[in-house]
Chain A
Amino acid sequence: MIHVITGGSGSGKSAYAEEESVKYQEKNPGEQMIYVATMVPGGKETQRKIQRHQRLRQGKGFETIECYTGVEKLAEKLQSTGNTYTLLLECMSNLVANELYMEEGAGEQAVEEILKGIEGLRKVCKNLVIVTNEVHSDGRMISKEMEHYKQVLGRINVRLAEQADYVTEVVYGIPMEVKR
């Protein structure tokens, strides 16, 4: 089962995604719950963001795995344990940026690599919750590079939603069903 959660900035996507993951996990007790963190700790602002997310997750039973690029490798590692998981990946907008701009990233192959990674996770995760970001309703053309980023994330979002069982847009904390 794949549940894709999207929304704008500060809209409560994470809180909702965590709630949903916990609900899915409760239906499969004994299954391990994993949080895949994709934000690279850089300056103070991202540190604060990461800390805020850590506080939010506290006590909910997630094991955190950091994965900035190469989700497929992570999937392989999980597969080798022989277990199944409820996995929350947060968030696609960071993962795309990492794959595009980090040295070890997939660069031009970002779309294919990420989708392969998701396919791999799907095999080991009974429940796969993916948080992404709606950054496409902003008419400004900031730079060619940013436009490319939007295109890559947009393509991935479309492909994820195709595969997803549920797609939800969280608007100021209110979950809106997009697909079920």
Chain B
Amino acid sequence: MKLIIGGAYQGKSAYARSKYPHIHWIDGGKCKLEEIYQAEGIIGFHNYVKRVLEEDEKQILTLVERLIQENPAIVIISQEIGYGLVPVDSFERRYREEMGRICTRIASVSSCVERILCGIPILLKNRREAKMEIEEVKPGDIEERSFEMISEELGDMELIPGTEPIVKRCIHTSADFDYGKNLVFSEDVVSKGMEAIRKGASIVTDTQMGKAGINKKKLAQYGGEVYCFMSDEDVAAEAIKNGTTRATASMNKAAKRGEKLIFAIGNAPTALIQLHKLIQKGDINPELIIAVPVGFVNVVQSKEMILSLENTPYIVAKGRKGGSNIAACICNALLYMMD
């Protein structure tokens, strides 16, 4: 069931007709009272309720429950009549109160309730109907359809211009709309990141999984490679010798390479902490740090350290969320934006 409400002459019917162009509408002021139980849509539901009260008052008791039972897919357009002084006339009082109760019940079972004000719809309630029907989407269109759904659900959430493809791809990867809010971008980081790739920068990850997820073929077009030093023997040895994590040792190894590097860190806070240290000492100057480790211990703090860097471009997922898949997906988003 769907409900569209609003004051008189606000453009409710026009809105409904354009939103549901294939529906056959009945007029609540004229239709037979029985018609509502089969109708696809009803315009002027308030008039219908008034007529029930006038013509066959008993029906008012069963109206809503029967409607829910017999015609749960109906689209109902109704005027809001409850905003005014209590009418002196007892019939008008009753009608007004019944309308409130009836519409409250209808709203409670409706998947979508909209209020039209000056022709503009305001969404009051939107629940995706628990339809378990399989959507027919061609294999090639699945990703496009996903992005469409993401855009729809994001609604008018404000994203920083130019970062939308990255935010949407993170949501696409995780089905988590928090990425609409928790991604922090340093100034011009998108164009700086793309420029670095174009000039042949390579990407360093802190997990094999992150490496696996990055589109290496695309990166190779510009001359870059993806490195993950985590399972290298020298890294393991250095970590044991110094009593650090392998991630820390990996960053040290990367620093020694002296080439243009982008860091895609989705797992280890210690990688970020070490990067911060190396940058402070002037031992490394990353083209971009993608700081998106997931988890609990030092995750939030290490990301804040990256956020404090003034001269290093970064993309940070503030808070606990992130992961190697997110790190890889941000790299891919940049690569696909370069097409």
Interface residues of A (CB under 8 A from B): 7-12, 45, 134-138, 140, 142, 146, 149-150, 171-174, 176
Given A171-B115, A172-B104, A172-B107: A9 in contact with B86 (beta carbons within 8 A): yes
Distance in Å: Cβ of A150 to nearest Cβ of chain B: 7
Which chain A residues border B299 with CB–CB below 8 Å?
none
Q: Are B83 and A172 in contact (CB under 8 A)?
A: no
Tell me the bound Cα distance from A149 to B88 in angstroms. 14
Q: Are B85 and A10 in contact (CB under 8 A)?
A: no
Q: Are B83 and A136 in contact (CB under 8 A)?
A: yes
Which chain A residues border B17 with CB–CB below 8 Å?
none
Tell me the bound Cα distance from A55 to B328 in angstroms. 58
Question: Of the candidates B90, B96, B97, B100, which one forms a contact with A172 in the assembled complex, judged by CB atoms under 8 Å apart?
Answer: B100
16 intermolecular pairs with C-beta atoms under 8 Å apart: A8-B83, A9-B86, A10-B96, A45-B90, A45-B93, A134-B83, A135-B83, A137-B7, A171-B124, A172-B107, A173-B105, A173-B107, A173-B108, A174-B113, A174-B124, A174-B125
Q: Are B104 and A146 in contact (CB under 8 A)?
A: no
Which chain A residues border B124 with CB–CB below 8 Å?
171-172, 174, 176
Interface residues of B (CB under 8 A from A): 3, 5, 7, 80-86, 88, 90, 93, 96-101, 103-108, 113, 115, 124-125
Which chain A residues border B90 with CB–CB below 8 Å?
45
Given A172-B106, A174-B113, A174-B124: A10 in contact with B83 (beta carbons within 8 A): no
Distance in Å: Cβ of A29 to nearest Cβ of chain B: 30
Which chain A residues border B115 with CB–CB below 8 Å?
171
Given contacts A172-B3, A174-B124, 10 further A-B contacts (CB under 8 A): A9-B82, A9-B96, A9-B99, A10-B82, A10-B97, A12-B100, A137-B83, A150-B85, A173-B108, A174-B107
